[in-house]
Amino acid sequence: MTVRRGRGSGPTMQDVGKLAQVSAMTVSRVLKDDPGVSEATRERVFAAVDRLGYRRNQTARSLRLGGSGMIGLVVTNLANPFYSRLALGVQEVATEYGFRMLLSNSGEQAEREIELIDGLVDHQAEGLIVVPASSRQQHLADAMRHVPIVFAARPPAGLDTDCVLVEDFHGAREATLCLLAEGHTRIAFLGNPPALYTGAERLRGFWAAHEEAGIAPDNALIRQGLVDSATAEQATLELLRQAEGPTALFCTNNRISQGAIRALYKTGTTLPVAGFDDFDLSDVLGLPLTLVSYDADEIGRQAARLLIERLHQHDAAPPASRRVTVPTRVVRHGLPSGDGPGHTAIDA
């Protein structure tokens, strides 16, 4: 086995794990004399330690005993402004309590997330805030045996831990009801992948609004699996070419809304657009926009508070898992002159 080393560095826990065919977390458990590790695994890890000449960093060891002062944040897409705001909220509270934040981006890739989680545990992060990339979360269950984890924006799948969510269902329902109240019966749905919690919940809110209004959505106007503004733009162009196209659009996040607006601009079409996430300049576009707004920073702040409360529990019995929901409100821009002022806000 060839061990790649940085300048002046020795073998790492990850190197030991690769040689022993276990994760870095398992190496950490063996070195901390965790009784839950089998004797066979323990022997393989110590054999790898001996072969590689691995020595635990004494500074890291002392930091660990006194607390490293670091918390990890793993998000799925740093290109999305939502996650930048969430990170700012986490950092605000972390700084207030004397913690440093380590930020990582999984790119919505579950395998990449596993590597990031292992690395953060290996580097002695005291706790983690994670926006999970998928519902496959066994690696997070493994990490929870070493550090507390709080989920943000998406809930845990079968795991008992704290999470902070947005009113996804309620916000989508309220925004769709606004379009239905204006007489739109052919509303297109432009959504992110349905396997994502946010995509499923926002579609559920869209359908619930139609049911309340006694109107059946047209499946021919529903597009899912959109991942960025480019795919949203293409899907919108296809919808606009239909003989019986939509009279309004509902988009499940800001990137999809922006792609839809670009398609409308390119075709010279003006349709009302409803969507999740407010975005910069939405109030000056002159388009009829109905946007579900919320405080993304507050999601990060709430997640950081929950995590730090866990870290301060020490030897006390841990409290039951908690779920915090950040409220939404509907903001409307570019309404026709007969419908009131240029923009209004409606509590959702």
DSSP-assigned states of every residue in 78-90: TTSHHHHHHHHHH
Comparing 69 with 116, the larger pLDDT belongs to 116
pLDDT of residue 50: 85
| E-assigned strand segments in 78-186 | 100-105, 127-130, 149-152, 163-166
- Burial class from Cβ neighbours inside 10 Å (0-12, 13-18, 19+) for residue 138 reads exposed
Q: What pLDDT, on a 0 to 100 scale, did the predictor assign at position 147?
A: 92
Q: What is the β-pairing status of strands 289-293 and 273-276? A: parallel
137: three-class secondary structure by DSSP: coil
Reported as a pLDDT band with limits 50, 70 and 90, residue 6 is very low
The arithmetic mean of pLDDT across residues 76-93, rounded, is 93
Instruction: Dump pLDDT digits (tens) for 233-262.
Output: 999 999 999 999 999 999 999 999 999 999
Spatial separation of the C-alpha atoms in residues 100 and 69, rounded to whole Å: 6
pLDDT at res. 10: 65
- pLDDT at residue number 56: 56
Secondary structure (3-state) at 165: strand
* Through-space distance between the first and last CA atoms of the chain, rounded to whole angstroms: 58
Contact 260, 253 (CB under 8 A): no
Tell me: pLDDT of 338 over 80: no
What is the largest distance, in Å, between two alpha-carbon atoms of the chain? Answer: 79
Q: Give me the mean pLDDT over the 88-95 stretch.
A: 95
pLDDT band at 61 (very low <50, low <70, confident <90, very high): very low
Query: Which residues, 6+ apart, have CB-to-CB distance to 117 below 8 Å?
Result: 25, 72, 74, 128, 130, 139, 140, 143
Q: Is the confidence at residue 4, as pLDDT, over 50? A: no
pLDDT value at residue 316: 61
pLDDT of residue 304: 97
3-class DSSP string for 263-326? HHHHHCCCCCEEEECCCCCHHHCCCCEEEEECCHHHHHHHHHHHHHHHHCCCCCCCCCCCEEEE
pLDDT in the model for residue 49? 87
Cα 177 to Cα 182: distance, rounded to the nearest angstrom: 9
d(CA 177, CA 188) in angstroms, rounded, equals: 13
**Structure confidence by residue, pLDDT tens digits, 92-109:** 999 988 899 999 999 999
Stated pTM of the model: 0.76
pLDDT at 179: 97
Residue type, 130: V
Mean pLDDT of 165-180: 97
What residues pair up with 323 in beta bridges, in sequence order?
163
For position 122, what pLDDT does the model report? 86
- The length of the chain in residues reads 348
Q: Lowest-pLDDT range, 152-161, 226-235, 339-348?
A: 339-348
Domains of the chain: 1-56 (1.10.260.40), 62-166+298-316 (3.40.50.2300), 168-293+328-347 (3.40.50.2300)
65 confidence band (pLDDT: 50, 70, 90): very low
pLDDT at 340 over 80: no
Q: What is the CA radius of gyration of the chain?
A: 24
Q: What is the pLDDT of residue 251?
A: 98
Contacts of 284 (CB under 8 A, 6+ apart): none
pLDDT at 148: 94
